[in-house]
Structure 1
Amino acid sequence: MSEESPTPSIKPPPKTSALGDAVRAYLWNLRRWSARTFTGENLVSSMKTFAWVAPLTILIWVYAEREQVVQRETTIPIAVKSTDPNRIVSLRPGDESIVAFIGGPRLAVDRVIELVTNPGKGPIVQIEIDGRGYESGKWVPVDTERYVGENPIFRNRGVAITSCKPRTLQILVDELVERDVEVRVPTDVTNLAGSPVFEPSTVRVRGPKTKLEDPRQPLVITADLANREEIQLPGPHQLPAVSVRANISDPSITLSPSTVKATLDVSQKEERYLIASMPIWQSTPTGFLEKYRIECPPSISNITVIGPHDQIELLRKGEVRPKAQLEVTAEDEGKQRTARELKFDLPDRVKVVAEDKEKTKVLFQLVKPE
């Protein structure tokens, strides 16, 4: 009977926790994944992909930013023009600009705002009005959003105009007319012997009918002689080109021709005289001073006048006492302190020199008595 071999003893495996097994398994899997993933070939491929994906992502982001829809409130200077050459249109005073929201892609909105708020010589937004069919001299209401929004500067850039203030614009439609008007000597030229001869004696004036035919301000055309050196030299003179001008200030009024030939005779040289002080008289509507007290300076001082020798002598000798007049009208009621040019009671053909014109404006205010 053979002797049995002893059975080797088997040691039980060391005890491990479930958490430790999980950590080791995770690390082992991570090591295998890293070995397979971060090979030289894979790294090169990833860098190539990043090289075109990153710029594309940036481009997409920039495009999305540019195309972001925004709305911005902006003040827009505007002007109007007529599509009919025989009509002229104009805005009501104070409506030379509007406030509106400009909406659309951000980049387009920013560009439009830059254009309309920096117009240069004049408003870039021009509203075209067909004046035919409207009565001359009448105000026509137009929808602001429609007429401004149709301008190519907005339409061609894909932006919209909304919430306009004012919502309605008042447009004056007027007929353009022509008149032949006689050329006159300006009232501030007082030292001529007889009437000068102008060639041509009339000029053709073209402008709005309501302006040229306004009975409150009759149209007068004068030759610009006041600043000519020849006016200070006694004797006959021929001036080949003297500018003419209208008493109505309006850029739409044109004169043809714009200069005339003048033949004149200067009788005597004008003299200057300094008036140390003049009282200011107040001219008001009937009953006006019962409602208001006029606060203004009592006098005006150091005013230089110019005129013929014999008329200036009347001032020097005190035979004529000059005075200034402040004209106040019912339209001044409710206004704040106002500046107004004085009128003067002076000898014939005597006037205030041009350089002192600004000094002839005074501030006044209407005050209700307590």
Structure 2
Amino acid sequence: MLKLPATLRQQFSGSRGIFGSRQNIVSFFKTLALVVPLTLLIWIYAQRAQVGGPVAVQITMDVKIDSPNQTASLMEPANGQVTIEIQGPTASIERLKATLVDVSRESRLRVSIPPTYPLGDSAVPVASLLNDYALIKSSGVTVLAAMPQSVKVRLESVATRYVPVMAPPAGALPFTAINPIFDPHVVKVTGATSILNRLFPTPADGVVVDLPNPESFNSPGAKQADSVPVRLHPLRVQPGDEDRVTIDTPRLTSFRFDVAALDEEWQIRSMPIEIKKPSPLEGRTVVTLARNTVTNVLVRGPAASIRQLQPRANEPPLVIPTAVLRIALEDVGRSDIRRAVEITNLPQGVTMVGMPPEIDFSVQDLGATP
């Protein structure tokens, strides 16, 4: 029951009726003008402060570690999708939910991993991790649970390598670049050891030139491009790699090359697929391909080089290219992989036209329990 203020009770109990006098009437309405808004404010505040939830929200997360000597990678779930249950003031829940959905739509929530975890793979509880995330912590909302309850995180030491600069992959340019000269021809890259091993499996593997406006160079003769950016190899890079690998020289001083005149095209009807695995996977995995060859690969190059690819009378071509499929450590146990092959062993000056073919394949661990 609402209890009237003392001044109102006195006015109601006066001997001259409810108000007693004109002065009491004025005083009554003045008091009412103060009490009613204050009561409404208290009610509104109580509604907003009322605890709501739990409310389920799906987010896309990633991980990082605030250490110059380590890197953090989210291994599972690979897509970063996690469903969390949050509880807190109703208004705060609605604001936070909208913000989390917007951030997840644009990119990923990059959550810091505590430095107490050891190097290697660890199961990290999602709820405690997100409750320390600044956006959630400052909202007054609590993460009660998550599905999955924990994520698999890999912490690694930062490694440094010097890798060569390479011409763009076959088919990336509308012409054949001959005798490329890069300044500098070697750059330093820094990142997690496992990522560098995948991106640069041999000393011959490196970063590639990202030539801007390549159409402007599409005429025979000597060419030079200055301040040319370099990037990770597009056939090996995976989502998130460019955030975890630093190229210390992101632009070359110059890139000089010759454009061949009178290029010819030739369609290679079929070429075998060669599987290349990291040494830890040799002998303990089986790779099953959807098909064993790639077909109808269009190449372009100087006439003399193209002739090396063409069959001779009752004899095979002088040069037989190969489609190389590179297997990564992360592929083990997966059956739904699709990846582009690399066309290798082409004659000098010959490049592929268009994008490289993609192959569906699976990788079975022979030591795993069926």
TM-score between the two structures when normalised by the length of structure 1: 0.65
Q: Does the 8 Å CA contact 1:177/1:209 hold for their aligned counterparts?
A: yes
> Which residue in 1 is equivalent to 2:60?
77
- The answer as to whether partners of 1:232 and 1:269 remain within 8 angstroms in 2 is no
Q: What's 1:130 paired with? A: 115
CA deviation after TM superposition for structure 1 residue 162, in Å: 0.9
- Asked if 1:264 is matched to 2:257, the reply is yes
**Cα shift at 1:204:** 1.1
Give 1:11's aligned residue: none
Q: State the shift of 1:68 in Å.
A: 0.8
Hey, what does 2:5 align to over in structure 1? none
Matched residue count: 316
Matched, 1:37 2:27: no
Asked if 1:89 corresponds to 2:72, the answer is: yes
8 A Cα contact 2:76 2:151, kept in partner: no
| CA distance in structure 2 between the partners assigned to 1:174 and 1:76 by the alignment | 25
Distance 1:327 1:209, change over 3 A: closer
Deviation sequence 1:148-185 (CA, Å, 0-9, x none): 11223333333221122222222111111221222234
**What SS is found at the alignment partner of 1:196?**
strand
Provide, for residues 278-304 of structure 1, a one-character-per-residue CA deviation record: whole Å limited to 9, x for no partner: 5698999xxxxxxxx9988x9977x75
Decide whether aligned partners of structure 1 residues 226 and 100 sit closer, same or farther in structure 2, where only a CA change above 3 A counts: closer
Between the aligned partners of 2:186 and 2:342, the Cα distance in structure 1 is 30
Partner Cα distance (1:181, 1:264) in 2? 20
**Inter-CA distance 311–217: structure 2 relative to 1 (3 Å threshold):** same
Offset at residue 257 of structure 1 (A): 1.7
Task: Quote the residue 1:103 is aligned against.
Answer: 87
CA shift, 1:65, in A, is: 0.6
Q: Mark the CA change 1:326 to 1:280 in structure 2 (over 3 Å): closer, same or farther.
A: farther
- Counterpart CA distance in 1 for 2:224 and 2:274 is 43
Normalising by structure 2, we get a TM-score of 0.65
Superposed, 1:283-298 pairs within 5 Å as none
Deviates most, 149-158 or 78-87: 149-158
AA matched with 1:78? M
Out of 108, 118, 141, the residue aligned to residue 102 of structure 2 is: 118
Find the residue that maps to 2:17 and give its secondary structure: helix
Whether 1:242 and 2:260 are equivalent positions in the alignment is: no
Deviations 1:199-225 (A, max 9, x none): 222111111122223498334233346
Once superposed, what is the RMSD of the aligned Cα atoms?
Answer: 4.6
Do the aligned residues in 2 keep the contact of 1:89 with 1:129 (CA within 8 Å)? no
Letter in 2 for 1:212: L
Q: Rg: which structure is higher?
A: 1
Counterparts of 2:325 and 2:197, CA distance in 1: 25
1:46 CA drift (Å): 4.4
Matched, 1:156 2:138: yes
Query: 1:271: Cα distance to partner?
Result: 3.4
Distance 1:172 1:40, change over 3 A: same
Q: For residues 220 and 228 of structure 1, what CA distance do their matches in structure 2 show? A: 21
Whole-angstrom distance in 2 between the partners of 1:312 and 1:300: 17
Q: Distance in 1 between matches of 2:125 and 2:272?
A: 48
Contact 2:260 2:302 in 1 (8 A): no
Residue matched to 1:307: 301
Determine what percentage of the aligned residue pairs are the same residue.
22
**Alpha-carbon contact 2:77-2:152 (below 8 Å) kept:** no
Q: Is the 8 A contact 2:290 2:359 kept in 1?
A: no
User: What stretches of structure 1 of length at least 5 have no aligned partner?
Assistant: 1-32, 285-292, 366-370
CA distance in 2, matches of 1:325, 1:79: 34
Match of 2:154 among 160, 172, 175: 172
CA contact (8 A) 1:327 1:342 kept: yes
